[in-house]
């Protein structure tokens, strides 16, 4: 092998010498073409060698990968088959249990006979822990517990289990067949617990449901008795929820380094579970068969030969690569740069410009190289200033700023444009300072965009101010209608009380007392109008509202006179209920009173139809859902109107959308905004048998300890 390599090297050296001797007489124009041809030949040789190496490596990797994938797919298929078989076994066992429970009811047995049959059935089926016989109202008539899993069912059964039974029995009544509930965790007296699932089987008589048979399954026992006997070593089976939470697990400890998982959907009438089967196996071997091992050995030998040939080829190509490096680097710089580049020597003479710089100023490279002060792209009016600045820089006493500086250049056609200049010392291969290298960016487009952006921003600010003024005017006109209407009502009532038949007589004393109350109400509503103006002003400016603790009774008492006036006019009965012992609400009192007043007025107007009888407006205040950090109050306003259609509900809280000819469409939009600023929620729902219920929440005041 060494002799062959030396002979090939000698032949290559002789060929290179002959080629050099034959090309020596060529002129300088033919030299670049010859170098390009040699570079192309070298690239082709390297490509062939690289392609061969990649092909061999790809074949080896593909064979090993396919063998491993095949082995893994076989294991995965077995796991999926086992999971499907387990689901089938459980499904068959559940169906068999339903049939046996239906047989238990044959002959309409009495309670003693039923309990005897149920006890025998529980002794045979360990996965069932309890059987209950209930009437059609779900009241327990009799029950039997499994002797294998005793439990104190009276103390451990909770509302969640009762709710699950109700739902499953309701579904069973609807479908006329067995229905399963969702699983729930049941603690046991020994400190342990288990996931349970209820089966509700309706008992039919003459096509009518006379009662229900409730069977309680233990998911853990289902896996132990129905699936575990068929499990293999290294397998684990479990019931899981959709999010992966494990409800019951049975299986062996982990064996192996790789886990294969199969999931099967176990759907039952009324609920759905996921059965997951995990199986641990050893990782597939790297060489799964003899063919792969032989190919690997041949590939290693071929790679060794390639390494020897590549080493010899690298010696021949090193010289060609070094010759083309300098030209390729410079050409890449000239063709790829979009930033203008300019090099100057220590005397200020231009020694290099790239095509981007030539396109920027409009001069060719021949017109710029060799020029010194003044440069042709300097504006005449700035020539003296630029010359003085360049002389200072060339003297070596001033270093240009690293962040660059802005200047003005002139194109060949005489147009001026701004540029950003960045300059740095030019250091040669010996580490000596040989000149300056500058980069130039045309920022004329950037300046134009900045000017457009500034103008647009000014217009947007003006438009925003106009929109704010319009919004404030709309809100004030809408919110002041209510206190002004109340003032007018109290004033008319006071005038009616002051009117007497004889001008010479005085009004009765009780009328004067009522007039005094009316005038006080007028003063209160005027003060309320002032608070509305201040609150709406603060609301428009998006400032923090002043929030104070106030009771629900005080909020309702403030707006109740206005509500009752309109209720008397529309013949609506107002029913108010406040849960005792409620904490105070922390809110902006004026804005929340407006919310209550708007919702009450809307509810009464929804019943403005002679056909609606009776007309009742219900206002309820109670505790809402709370957590450890905060408490909430829930306000509900219910009417008995025609309700809200789906089309109107989609746009109900949209500003300026209204279904009444005299409405402005701002009331509900403002109400939602006020409630959300307090951190609460405003929504609506249908009321049975008719009407609509509006609900909103407010935070409760929590004084510090």
pLDDT higher than threshold 80 for residue 557: yes
Least confident range from 95-99, 292-296, 464-468: namely: 464-468
The pLDDT, as a whole number, for residue 18 is 37
**Would you place residue 16 in the very low, low, confident or very high pLDDT band (cuts 50, 70, 90)?**
very low
Q: Which residue has the higher pLDDT, 157 or 104?
A: 104
User: According to the model, what pLDDT value does residue 397 have?
Assistant: 59
pLDDT of residue 283: 58
**Model confidence pLDDT, tens digit, residues 371-383:** 888 888 999 888 8
Write down the pLDDT at residue 102: 86
The pLDDT score that the predictor gives to residue 534 is: 65
Check residue 44 and give its pLDDT.
73
pLDDT at 578: 92
Closest C-alpha to 276, from 127, 79, 88, 128:
79
> Average pLDDT in the 218-238 region?
84
pLDDT value of residue 495: 76
Instruction: Tell me the H-state helices in 443-588.
Output: 444-498, 509-540, 552-570
pLDDT over threshold 50, residue 265: yes
pLDDT of 254 > 70? The answer is no
Q: What confidence category does residue 497 fall into, taking pLDDT thresholds of 50, 70 and 90? A: confident
Q: Please tell me the predicted confidence (pLDDT) of residue 696.
A: 94
**86, 110 in Cβ contact below 8 A?**
no
For residue 431, pLDDT beyond 70: yes
Query: Residue 399's pLDDT band (boundaries 50, 70, 90)?
Result: low
- Per-residue confidence (pLDDT) for residue 636, from 0 to 100: 95
Q: What is the pLDDT of the chain when averaged over all its residues?
A: 78
Q: Compute the average pLDDT of residues 388-411.
A: 76
Which range (165-169, 581-585, 663-667, 676-680) has the least confidence?
A: 663-667
pLDDT at 12 over 50: no
44: left (phi over 0), alpha (psi -120 to 50) or beta: alpha
Residue 670 has pLDDT above 60, yes or no: yes
Residue labelled with tokens 């020597």: 345
User: Is residue 637 scored above 90 in pLDDT?
Assistant: yes
Whether the pLDDT of residue 460 is over 60: the answer is: no
How far is Cα 107 from Cα 205, in angstroms, rounded to an integer?
Answer: 12
Q: Please report which confidence band the pLDDT of residue 230 belongs to, taking 50, 70 and 90 as the band edges.
A: confident
pLDDT of 464 reads 44
Q: What pLDDT is stored for residue 11 in this prediction?
A: 41
Task: Measure the CA–CA gap between 683 and 693, rounded to whole angstroms.
Answer: 8
pLDDT in tens, 560-577: 877 887 787 788 899 999
Q: What value does the mean pLDDT take over residues 27-31? A: 44
Confidence class for position 543, pLDDT limits 50, 70, 90: very low
The residue whose two tokens read 């684990």 is 236
Which of 233, 280, 276 has its CA nearest to residue 84? 276
Inform me whether the pLDDT recorded for 402 exceeds 60.
yes
Q: What is the pLDDT of residue 270?
A: 86
Give the model's pLDDT for residue 569: 78
CB 237 within 8 A of CB 262: no
CA gap 556, 606 in Å, rounded: 20
Q: Which of 692, 486, 699, 686 is nearest to 599 (CA)?
A: 692
CA 148 to chain centre: 48
Looking at the DSSP bridge assignments, the partners of residue 281 are 258
pLDDT given for residue 7 in this prediction: 38
For residues 606-632, average pLDDT: 83
Provide the pLDDT for residue 639: 92
Kindly list the distances between the CA atom of residue 224 and the CA atoms of 17, 99, 465, in Å, as whole numbers in the listed order: 86, 22, 73
First to last CA, the chain: 95
106-126, pLDDT tens digit by residue?
878 888 888 888 888 888 888
What pLDDT is attached to residue 14? 37
């Amino acid at each position: 092998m060494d002799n062959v390599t030396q002979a090939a090297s000698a032949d290559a050296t002789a060929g290179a010498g002959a080629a050099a001797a034959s090309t020596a007489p060529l002129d300088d124009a033919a030299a670049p073409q010859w170098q390009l041809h040699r570079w192309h030949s070298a690239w082709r040789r390297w490509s062939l060698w690289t392609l061969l190496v990649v092909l061999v490596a790809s074949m080896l990797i593909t064979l090993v990968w396919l063998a491993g994938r095949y082995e893994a797919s076989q294991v995965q298929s077995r796991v999926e088959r086992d999971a499907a078989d387990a689901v089938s076994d459980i499904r068959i066992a559940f169906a068999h249990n339903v049939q046996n429970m239906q047989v238990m009811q044959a002959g309409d047995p009495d309670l003693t006979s039923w309990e005897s049959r149920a006890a025998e059935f529980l002794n045979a089926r360990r996965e069932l822990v309890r059987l209950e016989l209930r009437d059609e109202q779900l009241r327990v008539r009799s029950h039997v517990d499994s002797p294998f899993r005793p439990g104190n069912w009276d103390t451990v059964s909770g509302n969640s289990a009762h709710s699950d039974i109700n739902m499953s029995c309701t579904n069973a009544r609807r479908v006329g067949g067995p229905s399963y509930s969702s699983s729930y965790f049941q603690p046991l007296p020994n400190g342990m617990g288990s996931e349970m699932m209820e089966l509700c089987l309706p008992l039919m008589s003459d096509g009518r449901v006379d009662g229900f048979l409730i069977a309680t399954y233990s998911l853990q026992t289902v896996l132990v008795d129905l699936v575990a006997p068929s499990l293999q070593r290294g397998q684990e089976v479990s019931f899981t929820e959709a999010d992966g939470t494990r409800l019951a697990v049975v299986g062996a400890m982990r064996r192996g380094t790789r886990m294969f998982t199969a999931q099967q959907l176990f759907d039952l009438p009324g609920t759905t579970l996921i059965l997951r089967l995990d199986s641990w196996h050893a990782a597939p071997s790297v060489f799964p068969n003899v063919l792969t091992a032989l190919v690997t050995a041949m590939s290693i030998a071929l790679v060794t030969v390639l390494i020897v040939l590549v080493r010899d080829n690298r010696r021949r190509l090193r010289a060609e690569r070094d010759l083309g490096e300098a030209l390729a680097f410079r050409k890449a710089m000239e063709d790829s740069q979009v930033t203008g580049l300019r090099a100057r020597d220590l005397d200020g003479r231009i020694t290099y410009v790239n095509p981007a710089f030539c396109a920027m100023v409009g001069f060719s490279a021949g017109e710029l190289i060799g020029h010194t002060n003044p440069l042709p792209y300097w504006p005449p009016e700035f020539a003296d200033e630029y010359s003085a600045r360049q002389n200072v820089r060339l003297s070596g006493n001033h270093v240009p700023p690293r962040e660059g500086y802005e200047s003005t250049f002139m194109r060949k056609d005489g147009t001026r444009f701004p540029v950003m200049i960045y300059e740095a010392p030019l250091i040669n291969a010996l580490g000596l300072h040989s000149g300056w290298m500058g980069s130039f960016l045309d920022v004329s487009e950037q300046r134009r965009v900045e000017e457009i952006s500034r103008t647009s921003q000014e217009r947007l600010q003006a438009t925003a101010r106009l929109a704010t003024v319009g919004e404030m005017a709309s809100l004030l006109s809408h919110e002041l209608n209510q206190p002004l209407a109340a003032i007018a009502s109290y004033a008319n009532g006071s005038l009616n009380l002051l009117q007497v038949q004889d001008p010479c007589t005085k009004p009765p004393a009780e009328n004067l007392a009522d007039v005094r109350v009316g005038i006080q109400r007028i003063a209160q509503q005027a003060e309320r109008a002032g608070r509305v103006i201040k609150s709406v002003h603060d609301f428009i400016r998006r400032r923090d509202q002043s929030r104070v603790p106030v009771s629900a009774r005080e909020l309702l008492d403030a707006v109740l006179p206005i509500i009752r006036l309109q209720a008397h006019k529309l013949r609506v009965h107002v029913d108010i209920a406040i849960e005792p012992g409620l904490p105070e609400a922390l809110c902006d009192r004026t804005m929340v009173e407006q919310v209550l007043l708007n919702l009450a007025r809307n509810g009464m107007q929804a019943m403005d139809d002679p056909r609606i009888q009776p007309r009742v407006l219900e206002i309820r205040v109670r505790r809402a859902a709370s957590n450890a950090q905060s408490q909430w109050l829930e306000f509900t306003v219910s009417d008995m109107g025609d309700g809200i259609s789906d089309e109107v509900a989609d746009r109900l809280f949209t500003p300026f959308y209204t279904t009444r000819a005299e409405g402005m469409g701002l009331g509900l939009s403002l109400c939602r905004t006020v409630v959300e600023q307090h951190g609460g929620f405003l929504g609506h729902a249908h009321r049975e048998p008719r009407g609509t219920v509006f609900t909103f929440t407010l935070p409760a005041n929590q004084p510090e300890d």
